[in-house]
């Protein structure tokens, strides 16, 4: 009997047996969960969400909660994703991935306190997790605590010396703190790894332009426009620099080129209108202002106000 028990597993009297209803619920759960996964993979998001919701109602096991939260995010249902991730992290408090997902959702909701709480829990579980420090830095940035953001980003970089996003964000914070040399050090570190990084090139160009290093700034802006002719920021930054140097004809030409490529961008008409006004072309300036308002009527007050101030006070590009 002992041998048979070892081979086939003798059932103990206190073993819990599933009732027929529990077995049916488990079968239904499995069907709903994997139907949801298939639907998601086929791009049928509403049906996938419905399947995951019904599956979680039967069994709120962590994997399915994670699938439901991810599907909510894909559908733009941020609040529902937050509620689901709160459930998941309560159920699995040691799940670092879930905590970082929760932090990311808090960031979307601009709940920086909740974001930091999730990040600190993740850091307590893994003090070498660069993403946890990076998100904690974004939370600090959200509450305008730049010094703490620098601390968190430095820890993120210490954990991963190739973390380009951390270098970029630290450069942005340093630039806001008016530490251009330190910001350039971080940007150059990024560009040594990836010379075509558009974000790093744009910020470097902006810093060089403010420092009066026109050639270096132009090189950064031109490289971005060469790689990506539809990068709106590159045109605005270069145009702002040309205006600052009172190279108005070059600036107008640049904005015209941008308009030819991206005729639906109100900012280009607004900036070209400003340049035309300074050049004495009041009719052309008015036409550009009207076009900018036509494209972005919700910004009419801002566009009109900036345009008027520009005409009265001279060069005010708003870029620097």
* 242-254 per-position pLDDT tens digit: 999 999 999 999 9
Quickly count: other Cβ atoms within 10 Å of residue 73's Cβ: 19
Task: Say yes or no to pLDDT of 6 above 50.
Answer: no
> Nearest CA to 103 among 83, 74, 79, 132?
132
pTM of the predicted protein model? 0.84
Same CATH fold assignment for domains 161-225 and 229-320? yes
Domain range annotation of the chain: 161-225, 229-320
Distance CA 158, CA 170 (A): 13
Query: Positive or negative, the Cα torsion across 244, 245, 246, 249?
Result: negative
Q: 53: exposed, middle or buried (C-beta count within 10 Å: 0-12, 13-18, 19+)?
A: middle
Task: Say yes or no to pLDDT of 161 above 60.
Answer: yes
CATH of 229-320, picked from 3.40.640.10, 3.10.690.10, 1.25.40.10, 3.40.50.460, is: 1.25.40.10
State the average pLDDT over residues 8-32. 73
Query: What is the rounded average pLDDT for all residues in the chain?
Result: 90
Task: Say yes or no to pLDDT of 313 above 50.
Answer: no
State the average pLDDT over residues 198-208. 98
DSSP conformational letter for 194: -
Name every residue whose Cβ is closer than 8 Å to that of residue 288 and which is 6 or more positions away in sequence. Answer: 269, 270, 272, 273, 276
The string of DSSP letters for 266-300 reads HHHHHHHHHHHHHTT-HHHHHHHHHHHHHH-GGGH
State the average pLDDT over residues 42-58. 95
Task: Classify 161-225 by CATH class.
Answer: mainly alpha
For residue 17, the model assigns a pLDDT of 75
Distance CA 67, CA 75 (A): 12
pLDDT-based confidence at residue 19 (cuts at 50, 70, 90)? confident
Q: Which two tokens stand for residue 45?
A: 């998001």
Distance CA 224, CA 201 (A): 7
> Nearest CA to 224 among 212, 236, 242?
236
For residue 4, the model assigns a pLDDT of 40
Task: Say yes or no to pLDDT of 192 above 90.
Answer: yes
For residue 307, the model assigns a pLDDT of 58
How many angstroms separate the Cα of 164 from the Cα of each of 41, 85, 109, 130?
31, 27, 25, 11
């Amino acid at each position: 009997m002992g041998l048979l028990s070892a081979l086939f597993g003798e059932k103990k009297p206190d073993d819990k047996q599933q009732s027929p209803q529990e077995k049916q619920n488990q079968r239904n759960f499995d069907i709903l969960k994997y139907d949801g996964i298939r639907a998601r993979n086929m791009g049928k998001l509403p049906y996938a969400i419905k399947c995951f919701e019904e599956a979680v109602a039967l069994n709120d096991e962590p994997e399915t909660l994670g699938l439901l939260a991810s599907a909510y995010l894909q559908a733009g249902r941020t609040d529902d994703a937050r509620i689901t991730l709160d459930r998941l992290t309560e159920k699995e408090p040691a799940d670092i991935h879930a905590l970082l997902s929760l932090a990311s959702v808090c960031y979307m909701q601009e709940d920086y306190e909740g974001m930091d709480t999730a990040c600190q829990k993740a850091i307590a579980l893994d003090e070498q997790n660069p993403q946890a420090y990076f998100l904690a830095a974004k939370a600090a940035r959200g509450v305008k605590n730049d010094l703490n953001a620098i601390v968190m980003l430095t820890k993120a970089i210490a954990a991963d010396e190739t973390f380009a996003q951390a270098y970029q964000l630290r450069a942005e914070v340093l630039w806001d703190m008016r530490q251009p040399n330190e910001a350039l050090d971080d940007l150059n570190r990024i560009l040594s790894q990836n010379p075509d990084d558009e974000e790093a090139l744009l910020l470097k160009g902006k810093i060089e332009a403010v420092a009066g290093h026109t050639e270096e700034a132009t090189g950064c802006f031109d490289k971005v426009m060469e790689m990506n002719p539809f990068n709106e920021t590159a045109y605005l930054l270069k145009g702002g620099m040309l205006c600052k140097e009172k190279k108005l004809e070059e600036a107008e030409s640049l904005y015209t080129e941008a308009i030819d490529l991206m005729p639906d961008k109100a900012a280009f008409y607004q900036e070209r209108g400003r340049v035309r006004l300074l050049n004495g072309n009041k009719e052309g300036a008015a036409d550009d202002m009207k076009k900018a308002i036509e494209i972005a009527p919700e910004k009419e007050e801002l566009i009109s106000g900036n345009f008027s101030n520009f005409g009265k006070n001279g060069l005010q590009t708003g870029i620097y």
